[in-house]
Amino acid sequence: MKNLKIIVTRKWPKVVEQKLQEIFDTTLNEDDIPLTEDQLFEAMQNYDAMLPTVTDNINDRILSCSNRKVNFIGNFGVGYNNIDVDSAKKNNIIVTNTPEVLTDCTADIAMLLMLGIARRAYEGEIHVRQNEWVGWRPTHMMGTKVTKKVLGLVGMGRIAQAMARKSHFGFDMKILFYDPYFKNEKISKDLNATACRTLDDLLSQSDFVSLHCPSTTETRGIINNNTLSKMKKTAYLINTARGDIVNQIDLINALENKIIKGAGLDVYEKEPNVPNSLKNLKNVFLLPHLGSATEETREAMGFRVLNNLELYSNNKPPLDRVV
């Protein structure tokens, strides 16, 4: 007899879905159509555990529903700003996330964006595919050198540290960071990373600014007209964290008016909508939230959720409990 009735809100890698089905009484979402708010609400009343992902908005109405059965929410994702954690706490619902397993792949995408925008990879690709390339010439499609430049990390969690490692040891970059909560001097020393006292300090000295903080009331909109104007005119902004850390209208304005040189973005304010005014710009390199999107990582994320759920179902503390 399977002890827990669970619902998975989106399609997951097959191997993980099969394992979930072996262990639990599992409802999958084979069609991968996002559940509506009402369907999520109903699911809270019909299952013991819910496994949502970063696109499901698990709000207070859903978490506070009457006759609730769900006591465990295992989010498929390291970020959990899609869940109202204060409400989960108030309602005594356990919430877990999937840290560590996606660190390298997300940092790799940040590297890809940094290199891609600096070296004009997208423009070059289009050029070749559209048969516009007429041959090598000394002034053709010149970009910006990355090696030995200054990388400023906003947030110094695992993904930022991985990016610092790759950039410092791979590209000989000088690493700065701004993170008022990060105090690990050993890590800073190992990565040769220097703490900035203020965000403005970091912005004014960096050639590349890469965002790695969670989306919270403190960080939402911290990149805006005011902070963008503190960046070098030659600098680039990279965002693999969350879209709403950046005021998107202000960023478009800064890119259009050459306040900064360019941006590499994997995340957006209102995904999957990307405004035409952003898509029409040449000085952006845009990806569709691919940070953790490798087969290895997405499977590892699924198994990480499964592991937390198994611990919970055996009355043990889940490893990645955030509430």
Write out the residues near ligand DGY by the rule CB under 6 A: 54, 77-79, 102, 291-292
196 versus 300: smaller Cβ distance to ligand DGY: 300
Cα–Cα distance, 288 to 302 (Å, whole number): 20
Element housing 6 (H / E): strand 5-8
157 versus 291: smaller Cβ distance to ligand DGY: 291
Quote the least distance from Cβ 2 to ligand DGY, whole Å.
Answer: 27
167 versus 292: smaller Cβ distance to ligand DGY: 292
Task: Give me 268's structure tokens.
Answer: 């957006």
212 as an active site residue: the answer is: no
41 versus 285: smaller Cβ distance to ligand DGY: 285
168 as an active site residue: the answer is: no
Question: Residue 21 phi/psi, 5° resolution?
Answer: -65, -35
Quote the least distance from Cβ 11 to ligand DGY, whole Å.
Answer: 15
* Sheet of 72-74, strands arranged across: 25-27, 5-8, 49-51, 72-74, 94-96
Cα–Cα distance, 21 to 2 (Å, whole number): 9
289 as an active site residue: the answer is: yes
Cα–Cα distance, 313 to 323 (Å, whole number): 17
Cα–Cα distance, 322 to 89 (Å, whole number): 10
Q: Count CB neighbours of 262 within 10 A.
A: 24
- Choice among 10, 165, 289, 298 that is catalytic: 289
Cα–Cα distance, 303 to 178 (Å, whole number): 32
Contact 162, 104 (CB under 8 A): yes
- Choice among 120, 165, 212, 242 that is catalytic: 242
- Choice among 271, 299, 310, 321 that is catalytic: 271
Quote the least distance from Cβ 190 to ligand DGY, whole Å.
Answer: 25
Quote the least distance from Cβ 170 to ligand DGY, whole Å.
Answer: 22
171 versus 303: smaller Cβ distance to ligand DGY: 303
Quote the least distance from Cβ 226 to ligand DGY, whole Å.
Answer: 26
- Catalytically active residues are 242, 271, 289
